Structure formats: structure tokens, C-alpha cells
Structure 1
Amino acid sequence: MTLPETMKFVDLPTFGAADVMTFATGPLPTPKAGEILVKVQAAGINRPDVAQRQGAYPAPKDASPVLGLEIAGEVVALGEGVSEFEIGNHICALANGGGYAEYCVVPAGQALPFPNGYDAVKAAALPETFFTVWANLFQMAGLTEGESVLIHGGSSGIGTTAIQLAKAFGAEVYTTAGSKEKCEACEKLGAKRAINYREEDFADVIKAETGGKGVDVILDMIGASYFEKNLSLLAKDGCLSMIAFLGGNIADKVDLRPIMVKRLTVTGSTMRPRTADEKRAIRDELVAEVWPLLEAGEIGPVIHDIIDFDQVADGHRLMESSSHIGKIVMRVS
């Protein structure tokens, strides 16, 4: 296969609003040992991309500065030592950066085959949310069959994924969302009760729904403004797993006694700083435990909108509006 010497990519000459993004041409990246080069057919647009564009989520020193953390496409070159993929394979992958481009290098351990029946657009909606939810909800918080979980931001890409996975693995699911339409969508995905936080106090609803017991796990992307309520809603030996701080990262004058009295665990993580081995371990569990559910049609990505490569700024504005339900995917080639 003859590859071009250059490619088109989304450049970020400065931090700022969506309009600061421009298109540029640069050299094709070369896969190093353990990496693969992918001709990108579709890429997901995610909140970390918006944060990086704004200057709040810098790329690691060894990662591409180009935006984009999840892709789907065709393997066109292999780095030294890669044996699990072949040229011509169709894969989706969690990228360390560089996804908003015609070609992207990713570690082989972060790539997964398209689930049977999936095209590039549908596959591109998987990696970022499924890696994040699996790591935080199942590996770290230890959600198991028969437990209950409260998922904040249920209509987001993370939320729609978490609802489906929690339900599929036998948990009782509660969630919050910001409109009647979003709550209805969450309940169709498997939530027992979706709470419109603009009209109801989610703490009151959860206490009523659980008879005052609370839930076993909370997956939270809001942070400081929900922290005290979250602690109050956890059952004994419960776990609060935090993945973002949309409501602030400084919690002031919070009563911490529930952590001790109820033996609570408070944990959290971001995906990007994890090591290649940690991401490979998540990838392997997804292939074994989750990919069969995708292929059976028991769960699947919720895609709100599909945009073209030259509409990337529109995709970012849609993400910032929070009016979407599910994922925003960009066709690249």
C-alpha cells in the first residue's frame, strides 16, 4: 500500500473558542514499536477535546498535540513488534491524541476490532466512553450484579454508555438529566428512574426510591456542587467514582463524616495519563466482556449527530451546548 507523504488535520494555533481551530497539512506520522498507523474514517468529539481546545487539558509530552481521542478506520502500517493486527484490519481505538486527522498513530494495545455489523461511524462512538465507564464504574468502583448505581449526566456519551452497561450487568440504575426528553431517553436505555435535576431534588428522589438506604455506587462528572449530596446518598460501603468537575473542583465546607460512618470509598481517575499497560488491560476486558454484548445488539452507542470533517467547529459548539443526547461523531474520510 502506497501512503501519501502528507495529511490534512485540525490545527490548534491558539487556545480559545471553537473558531480557533483551523485545517492544516503536515507529514504523515510514523508508527513506533508497538504502534499502528490508521487511516481515519471517523472520529468522536468529546468533552476532553473541548477542554484541550480551551487550554484546560494539555496533551501529555509524548502524545500528539492534535485534538482527538477516539477514532475508527483501517490499519495501513504496523510498527515493530505488532502482531495482533494486520494491514487492512478495521479497528476503533482510544488515541492518546491526533484523532482529528486523516491518519493517526495509536498504540496497538488501545485498538479493538469493529464489532460485527459495525461501520466506522458507529465504531468511532465506542472507545472513549467505554474505556472510561469500564475503568471507573466496574474496575475501580466494583459495580456488580444486584447493586444500585446513580449515574449523573445520564444523557451524555458517558451517561448513555454507563446506563446500558450497568443495566446489562444486572445493576439497578438511577440517573440525572436536564430535561424531560433527556430523562425519557435515559429510561428507554434502562434507567429505573431518571431525575430531571432542573425540576426535582435528586437527593430526595433517590432517598424515596431506595427507602432511605441510598445507592451502592455513584458515577459523577459534576464534582464540587454535588459532592456533599453524593456522600449522603451512598449506602454503607458505597463508592463515589468521580470522572470530571463540570460543577467545580473545590468543595468548601463539606461534612466528611459520612465517609467514616458509612465506610465509603471516594475515588476517581482520568484516562489520558494511564499507562499503556493499564489501557491494554481495559481493552482486553472490553473485548472479552462487552464486545459480545455489542455484537448481540444488547447494548450500543447512542449517536446524536454525525458531522463532516469541515464541520468540526460546529461539533464543538454542539458539545458545549449540552443539548445533545449521546455521542457526536465526525466523518473524516
Structure 2
Amino acid sequence: MRAHTARLVDDRILIETQDIPLPEPGPGQLLVRVHAAGLNRGELLSLRQQPPGEPVVLGIEAAGEVVRAGADARPFRAGDRVMGRCRAAFADYALLDAHDAMAVPERLSWPQAAALPIAAMVVYDMLIAQGRLAAGEWLLITGISSGVGVTALQLAKTLGARVIGTSGSARKLAALERLGLDAGLHTRAPDFHEAVMAATGGRGADLIVDIAGGSIFGECLRSLAFEGRLAAVGALDGVREARLDLAALHARRLMIFGVSSKGYGPEQRRRIVQGVVDRILPLYASGRLTPAIDRTYPFDELQDAIARMESNEQLGKIVAGEA
């Protein structure tokens, strides 16, 4: 079967195709014929931290049809349409652990299904499981035009929240107004505190999702309401350290939490997946929500998909696979 790998050469990510043996599903695993896979900025950032020239398998989420199920892979069986987190997703076939797999809602296409797993799990974790976002509250999303950012906007509106978003693109902010964005702040700098306070009537944001990174951490903290929550999700700016104002943390009873699945074991991942199945997928199954896809590329044009992501022109998710 074919599998796509990437290597860093002269600061450029180059895609290569290899022929590798077809994997066999072990206990609790599903062998899936991949129809589409989502591209995630985090794996590109990780690739740029690897030694130049070292090949790295690509893809951490996929959607496809179960070809063969290993022992104890219930409730899935051959022929089922599934999506989920996995390794080496940009290949003809991939292995999914059954506890990471979710049934694809009937109305979703393969690219739409591939756009959901990572974003849906992250958004469930930061808005519902940890963030406890409630109707009427204010949510601020920094770097809102990313796949996770747009998914967070969509879900927050179904929860009855009001949403502020920051972006370096006025065009993207205008487009997101159609998805319910209440206030768009055209900035990438740590200069939005006054605008957030003005939009919220002096209250501040009840929950902030910081996708941008450490360069604006202090401004996020300043922009929180009393008993506000700050979700540290990404670091698009590459800044992974920031000063913490302990006086503000204490006096305003703030909460800061991280959102990452890196330290998760199977039981923790199973719990997040079940939360997505129970709380988020019904919104897509009913048509109330539709995955926001920027572009879909054929697998053979994965190089172009990466160039699109690194150009920062995307609005929503970039996917590779079948139409």
C-alpha cells in the first residue's frame, strides 16, 4: 500500500510516497480503508522541530471504511463508516484503536468526517469538559480562523454563548460573521484587552481559548472576567513560555488549564470520545452544524495542502482525500 511521509529539507517540508506492507489489526484495532484525512498545523510544527532530512509519517486523523476488525474491537465491524484519531493517516490504509473510533453520521461526506475528530475532541475538552461554557457567557478565541477555532465558534453558538475572535485577517473575520461571530478583532498583537472589555460591557471574557500562544498570554489573562477560565491550546506564534500575574490569578479567582491529548491513556481518550459522541456528533447528524472545510486536496497534492496551511490563508479545516 502507499503511505505519505514528510521530511524537512532546507526549511521546506517535502512529501514522499512509499510502498509499505498492509498492517494487520491487533486486539481492539480496526483496519480502515482511508478515504480522507485531516491536516493539522501541530504536526507540521512538530516536524519542524525534528532533525532535517529525517522522514516522518504524516496524519493523525482519518475517515474511512472498516476492512477488518481485530478481536475485542466492538461495536465496529467490516463495512462500517468510521472516523477517529490514528497514526499515519495519509495512507491507503490505517489502524484505528476502537476506543478512538466514532461512527460517521450518515449525512457527512468523507472529507467532512475527516475534518472532525481532532477538532471535535479538542473543542469538547476545552469548551465543555473543562471550560464549562454556559449560555449567555462570553468566549474569546484567539487565532479563530484555524480549524479548531472555527469549530469552537460553531459549537459555542449552539451552547448559547457570545463569541469574540481575533485574527490577522479582516477578510476571515468578516466571513466568520456568517457563522455567528459577535465581535471580530483584527489583530495578532497583545493589544485587545480594551476591545474585549468594551464588547462585554466591562465584564471581560468568561472563557478564553488561546490558540495563538505565549506572546499574548498576559493580554488574555487581563481580558478575563471574574472567575474566568483560560484554555491554553496552541502556540501558533511558537512562544511556549509566559509570565503569570499571580496577584490577578488570586484576586479574580481565575482558572488556567491546558488542552492536550499527549498524556492521555486509553481510558481518558475513551471518555473524551464518548463526550464527542454524546454531545457534539448529534449536532452534525441533525444538520444543525456542518464541518467548516477550507479546501480538500487529492492525496497526491498533499504538498499543495501543506503550502496552503503554511501560507496562513486557510479558514477552517484543510483535508486530503476523496470528494
Residues 147-195 of structure 1: per-residue CA shift (max 9 Å, x gap): 2110111111011100010110111111111222111122211121111
Query: Which residue matches 2:79?
Result: 88
**TM-score w.r.t. structure 2 length?**
0.93
Three-state SS of the structure 2 residue aligned to 1:20 is strand
CA distance in 1, matches of 2:11, 2:102: 33
Query: Which residue matches 2:265?
Result: 275
Q: Structure 1 residues 74, 17: closer, same or farther in 2, change over 3 A?
A: farther
CA distance in 1, matches of 2:194, 2:23: 53
Q: How does 1:154-173 map to 2 (within 5 A)?
A: 154-173=144-163
Query: Which residue matches 1:264?
Result: 254
Corresponding position: 1:52 with 2:46: yes
What is the aligned-residue RMSD (CA, Å)?
A: 2.0
Residues 237-278 of structure 1: per-residue CA shift (max 9 Å, x gap): 1110011122311224x5332111101111113224322221
Corresponding position: 1:293 with 2:283: yes
Corresponding position: 1:174 with 2:164: yes
Corresponding position: 1:222 with 2:207: no
Q: How does 1:246-265 map to 2 (within 5 A)?
A: 246-247=236-237, 248-252=239-243, 254-265=244-255
CA contact (8 A) 1:175 1:186 kept: no
CA contact (8 A) 1:102 1:332 kept: no
- TM superposition shift of 1:213: 1.3
Q: How does 1:112-127 map to 2 (within 5 A)?
A: 112-127=102-117
Query: Which residue matches 1:62?
Result: none
CA contact (8 A) 2:6 2:13 kept: no
Percent identical: 34
Query: Which residue matches 1:42?
Result: 36
CA contact (8 A) 1:17 1:53 kept: no
Q: Structure 1 residues 103, 145: closer, same or farther in 2, change over 3 A?
A: same
CA contact (8 A) 1:18 1:317 kept: no
Query: Which residue matches 1:4?
Result: none
- TM superposition shift of 1:199: 9.4
Query: Which residue matches 1:60?
Result: none
- TM superposition shift of 1:137: 2.0
- TM superposition shift of 1:20: 2.8
CA distance in 2, matches of 1:69, 1:197: 30
Greater shift, 219-228 or 194-203, is seen at 194-203
Corresponding position: 1:190 with 2:180: yes
Query: Which residue matches 1:105?
Result: 95
Q: Structure 1 residues 56, 207: closer, same or farther in 2, change over 3 A?
A: farther
CA distance in 1, matches of 2:12, 2:100: 28
